[in-house]
Amino acid sequence: MARKKIALIGAGNIGGTLAHLAALKGLGDIVLFDVVEGVPQGKALDLSQCGPVEGFDAKITGTNDYADIKDADVIIVTAGVARKPGMSRDDLLGINLKVMKAVGEGIKNNAPNAFVICITNPLDAMVWALREFSGLPHNKVVGMAGVLDSARFSHFLAEEFQVSVKEVNSFVLGGHGDTMVPVVEYSTVAGIPIPDLIKMGRSTKERIDAIVQRTRSGGGEIVGLLKTGSAFYAPATSGIAMAEAYLFDQKRLLPCAANLTGQYGVDNLYVGVPVIIGKDGVEQVIEIDLDAEAKANLQVSVDAVKELLEACKGIDSTL
């Protein structure tokens, strides 16, 4: 059987880490694409030289030509620019929208059967635009945010309860940003829901509320520390988990930005919800019962995503 081909669009911090993880995990051959000349080639060469030490033999190539992503099985998109001082959110939206247009066309022309995972921010708008520009079926284009946000939530919960992160299962829904919705009721430690743990005196509502807030601003906390960029190790790990779910038909139930067609009362919008990922991409959207507070929070999040899409449509008239 031919090896799988993993194309990474954007060879920056996340792109390079994705390539490293994909090689270490033996997911297939890897193509790193970027518009900057030399960077994907240099990173590919550096990563290839890990092979003799780590014992992997993935072919890793760097390129500035979309023809090289031909027939990729999985494509992970991190291409774009980050917000710089003096740049408004709309400025960033305009620039990254143009990037999504170029990436979408590159995918459409070279790898229309791929499973595409978008990571570029603002995530919920960019994954929607990438789907529009690529013309791929909705089940084959998905956004990564919930896996990362849930990982952050789980990490903080494990610290709070002083247990291994392996025992913690948590859920974050909604858009990626300040309006995300960490769902406390569906988060557990070894199967015990957080509200029960509060009743058992293991924590307090105030402490959990603070963890929810820290999760919501989890990305900003890291930007504040790094100063020159944003998180990349955990975002890359999260993207790889989604790629593995597809490549190995794992039927994992993961929170991802998926296109909704009426679920949660939302139509034709990408929002973070639990989905099952297997060989057909997003195979099912799972509609969980939310309490009034979570529902109201999800609505705020949906409204924020809608506002971003309207801004995108204002910038690009083909959308």
Residues at the binding site for NAD(+) are 10-15, 34, 96, 119-121
Binding of ligand TXD by 281 (CB under 6 A):
no
Quickly count: other Cβ atoms within 10 Å of residue 68's Cβ.
17
Residues of each annotated binding site: 10-15, 34, 83, 89, 96, 119-121, 152
Candidates 136, 148, 172, 212: give the one binding ligand TXD (CB under 6 A): 148
Residue number of the CB closest to ligand TXD reads 12
Stretch that binds ligand TXD, among 75-83, 152-160, 301-309, 311-319 (CB under 6 A): 75-83
From the candidates 20, 138, 155, 176, give the one annotated as an active-site residue: 176
Is 20 among the catalytic positions?
Answer: no
Candidates 44, 75, 144, 277: give the one binding ligand TXD (CB under 6 A): 144
State the minimum distance, in angstroms, from the CB of residue 126 to ligand TXD: 8
Calculate ∠ Cα 277-80-244, nearest 5°. Answer: 20
Q: Which among 37, 45, 57, 59 has a CA at the least distance from the CA of 16? A: 45
Q: Which residues contact 130 (CB under 8 A, 6 or more apart)?
A: 77, 100, 103, 104, 107, 116, 118, 120, 141
Size of the site for ligand TXD (CB under 6 A): 33
Q: Which among 58, 72, 16 has a CA at the least distance from the CA of 41? A: 16
Task: Kindly write out the interface string for residues 34-63 of this chain, putting x where it contacts ligand TXD by CB under 6 A and - elsewhere.
Answer: xxx--x------------------------
Cβ–Cβ under 8 Å, residues 8 and 33:
yes
Indicate the residue among 99 and 142 with the shorter CB distance to ligand TXD: 99
DSSP symbols for 8-77: EE--SHHHHHHHHHHHHTT--EEEEE-SSSSHHHHHHHHHHTTHHHHT----EEEES-GGGGTT-SEEEE
Q: Token pair of 54, please?
A: 């780590």
Stretch that binds ligand TXD, among 51-59, 99-107, 162-170, 303-311 (CB under 6 A): 99-107
Q: Which of residues 4-23 bind ligand TXD (CB under 6 A)?
A: 9-15
Binding of ligand TXD by 235 (CB under 6 A):
yes
Cβ–Cβ under 8 Å, residues 90 and 22:
no
Residues that bind ligand TXD (CB under 6 A): 9-15, 34-36, 39, 78-82, 99, 102-103, 119-121, 123, 144-145, 148, 176, 219, 229-232, 235
Residues known to be catalytic: 176
